[in-house]
């Protein structure tokens, strides 16, 4: 047996993943255990913090002891980072990060006593991202593109995965970074850096990309050699920084739109270069920028590749899995691509029922759970849906989801109120895979909700809650063979309404990670206007009066 524990801890979204003999047995983000969104602050001072609970759970899930681990693969290589100078306060304490990463063996031995820490392997940050895409994808060969804020000295990797080997063809060095520019604009617009970039993407669809288009084109461009430049921009000269408590107006949306469209154009240029260099017909993507589903959709529609596959945990959390896969591959192990993102914690029926009994809540066990939930949804209910193992990555994919009826336009406001979200934030549909092409344009299988598609005009009126202002929707296609219970629920909803689409958003409230345990699901259910909770095979109903 060869067991590899992958660890991401260096910047944000700490996570752990366990790959044994090439099989991914477990992968989870620390925030689901600690209940602290994104796990920790993305500052050098926190680089020592390991995803202790996620690591321990991975071992427990597989029935392993720390001494059974052959390799710990850590997704950052301090040898690639600039050496710390005599004063660690230089350069925003960057040297402290490197020093902490060198101390990881000591921190690991405290967290997991018995672990053979001499078997720690540092994996270059972007190689870890790349492996989470090309090794984890269900394609034997691919071009691979990684874009994020930063790794050790770069913000990008372009390469090719073939015959079990990753060839790195391009790596754009810092300070040029598309991810950091997106973070800058995120902070400038009053959102949380390294966290709320998807809000900028949502705001962009309301804006005019031409207003600041030339400014972004002047400063951001592909360089024709697989890389790009991002010259410093004075954002305040374009738009005053957003003040707390102020609303978002046209000029903010225009800035977001200018940035978003330029990002898409540069990604297309990078993809064309990669396709010409590799001749591959599939591209796999990872890095936080690959969570930009609007850019992904444009790459799929206009780019040179026949297929685009995106790692569902494309942000730094996914580097735990990628580091483990890279280390396993280096040892000659063939990794099996996971066929699901549901790699986190799951609960036996008995465990769930014990939680319900402890809460002394009335509950039932319907013979047809999918039908019971579909009836409630069609009748206007908001449903908490807690099934199977939790998702690895930021999207709820039918395991820790809040569901409602897409026919009712008011459900957008209801969901945003439950979740305490801004009014411009869209909610997304899940759809039966076989019905998706008749409802949305240009559909390819999209089980991880990482692409947007235009809603066909004849369907806009039928599913108004999920149609974004620009006529698109960020869809999850559900293949009943992969997700039988979610598929059965969608089919049951279609039998009742004629609509094979249900609204799916993550099961959490504002600022909190998704619920992970049955208890957290009950707490979230009790704290907001959620009408019904499908907790494993059991159903709890909100009683009025």
By annotation, the residues acting in catalysis are 12
How many residues touch Fe ion (CB under 5 A)?
Answer: 2
Residue 272's H or E segment, with its range, is helix 250-278
- Looking at residue 135, what DSSP letter applies? T
Rg (CA), the chain: 23
Who's near 339: CB < 8 A, 6+ residues apart? 138, 482
Minimum Å gap between C-beta 88 and Fe ion is 22
Q: Which stretch binds Fe ion (CB under 5 A): 309-317, 360-368, 465-473, 512-520?
A: 309-317
Residues 235-254 that bind Fe ion (CB under 5 A): none
Least distance between Fe ion and beta carbon 132 (Å)? 10
The stretch near Fe ion (CB under 5 A) out of 71-79, 252-260, 310-318, 479-487 is 310-318
By beta-carbon proximity to Fe ion, the closer residue of 291 and 412 is 291
- d(CA 78, CA 210) in angstroms, rounded, equals 41
| Strand pairing category for 71-74 and 3-8 | parallel
Q: Is there binding between residue 148 and Fe ion (CB under 5 A)?
A: yes
Say whether residue 316 binds Fe ion (CB under 5 A). yes
Is 13 among the residues that bind Fe ion (CB under 5 A)? no
Partners of 9 in beta bridges: none
In 3-state terms, what secondary structure has residue 505?
Answer: strand
Stretch that binds Fe ion, among 22-30, 156-164, 316-324, 520-528 (CB under 5 A): 316-324
Q: Nearest to Fe ion by Cβ — which residue?
A: 148
Residue with smaller CB distance to Fe ion, 125 or 188: 125
CA distance 60 to 28: 13
Min separation Cβ 318 and Fe ion, Å? 9
Q: Which of 148-156, 181-189, 436-444, 472-480 is the region at the interface with Fe ion (rule: CB under 5 A)?
A: 148-156
Is 113:308 a contact under the CB 8 Å cutoff?
no
| Nearer to Fe ion among residue 8 and residue 387 (C-beta) | 8
CA distance 497 to 404: 13
The answer to whether the beta carbons of residues 176 and 155 sit under 8 Å apart is yes
Of 147 and 343, nearer to Fe ion (C-beta) is 147
Instruction: Name the minimum Å distance from CB 222 to Fe ion.
Output: 20
CB of 155 vs Fe ion, minimal distance in Å: 9
Spatial contact of 250 and 189, defined as CB atoms under 8 Å apart: no
When the beta carbons of 150 and 419 are compared against Fe ion, the nearer one is: 150
Task: Name the residue nearer to Fe ion (CB basis): 144 or 466.
Answer: 144
Give min distance, CB of 517 to Fe ion, in A.
28
| CA–CA separation, 308 and 139 (whole Å) | 10
Q: What is the dihedral of CA 533, 536, 537, 542, to 10 degrees?
A: -10
Nearest-10 crossing angle of helices 197-204, 250-278? 100
Single out the segment in contact with Fe ion by CB under 5 A; choices: 301-309, 315-323, 358-366, 401-409: 315-323
User: Looking at beta carbons only, is 148 or 152 nearer to Fe ion?
Assistant: 148
Of residues 272, 8, 231, the one with CA closest to residue 124: 8
100 φ, ψ (degrees, to nearest 5): -60, -40
CA 153 to chain centre: 23
Instruction: Establish whether the linkage from the previous residue to 175 is cis, with ω within 30° of 0.
Output: yes
As measured in angstroms, the least distance from the Cβ of 320 to Fe ion is 11
**Positions that interact with Fe ion (CB under 5 A):** 148, 316
């Amino acid at each position: 047996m060869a067991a590899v524990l992958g660890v991401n801890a260096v910047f944000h979204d700490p996570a752990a993943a366990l790959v044994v003999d090439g099989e991914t047995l477990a992968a989870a983000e620390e925030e689901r255990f600690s209940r602290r969104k994104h796990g920790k602050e993305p500052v050098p001072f926190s680089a020592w913090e390991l995803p202790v609970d996620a690591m321990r759970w991975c071992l427990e899930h597989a029935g392993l002891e720390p001494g059974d681990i052959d390799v710990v693969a850590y997704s950052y290589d301090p040898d690639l980072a600039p050496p710390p100078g005599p004063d660690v306060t230089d350069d925003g304490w960057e040297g402290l990060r490197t020093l902490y990463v060198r101390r990881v063996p000591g921190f690991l031995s405290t967290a997991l006593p018995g672990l053979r820490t001499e078997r720690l392997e540092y994996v270059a940050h972007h190689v870890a991202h790349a492996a989470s895409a090309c090794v984890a994808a269900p394609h034997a060969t691919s071009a691979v593109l990684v874009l994020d804020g930063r790794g050790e000295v770069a913000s990008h990797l372009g390469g090719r995965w073939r015959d079990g080997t990753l060839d790195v063809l391009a790596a754009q060095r810092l300070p040029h970074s598309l991810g950091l520019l997106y973070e800058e604009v995120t902070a400038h617009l009053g959102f949380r850096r390294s966290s709320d970039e998807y809000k900028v993407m949502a705001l962009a669809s309301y804006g005019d990309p031409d207003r600041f288009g030339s400014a972004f084109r002047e400063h951001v461009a592909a360089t024709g050699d697989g890389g790009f430049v991002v010259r410093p921009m004075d954002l305040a000269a374009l738009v005053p920084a957003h003040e707390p408590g102020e609303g978002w107006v046209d000029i903010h949306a225009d800035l977001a739109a200018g940035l978003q469209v330029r990002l898409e154009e540069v990604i297309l240029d990078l993809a064309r270069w990669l396709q010409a260099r590799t001749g591959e017909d599939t591209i796999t993507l990872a890095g936080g920028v690959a969570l930009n589903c609007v850019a992904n959709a444009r790459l799929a529609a206009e780019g040179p590749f026949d297929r685009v596959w995106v790692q569902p945990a494309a942000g730094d959390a996914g580097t735990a899995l990628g580091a483990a896969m890279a280390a396993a591959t280096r040892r000659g192990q063939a990794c099996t691509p996971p066929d699901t993102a549901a790699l986190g914690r799951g609960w036996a029926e008995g465990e769930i029922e014990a939680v319900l009994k402890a809460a002394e809540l009335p509950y039932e066990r319907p013979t047809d759970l999918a039908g019971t939930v579909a009836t409630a949804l069609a009748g206007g209910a908001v449903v908490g849906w807690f099934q199977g193992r939790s998702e690895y990555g930021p999207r709820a994919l039918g395991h820790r989801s809040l569901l409602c009826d897409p026919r009712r336009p008011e459900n957008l406001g209801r969901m945003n109120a439950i979740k305490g979200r801004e009014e411009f934030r869209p909610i997304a549909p899940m759809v039966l895979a076989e019905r998706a092409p008749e409802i949305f344009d240009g559909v390819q299988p999209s089980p991880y909700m990482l692409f947007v598609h235009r809603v066909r005009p004849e369907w806009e009126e039928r599913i108004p809650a999920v149609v974004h202002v620009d006529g698109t929707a960020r869809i999850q296609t559900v293949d009943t063979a992969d997700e039988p219970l979610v598929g059965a629920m969608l089919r049951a909803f279609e039998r009742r309404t004629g609509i094979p689409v249900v609204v799916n958003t993550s099961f959490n409230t504002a600022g909190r990670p998704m619920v992970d345990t049955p208890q957290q699901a009950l707490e979230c259910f009790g704290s907001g206007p959620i009408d019904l909770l499908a907790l494993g095979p059991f159903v709890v109903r909100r009683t009025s009066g």
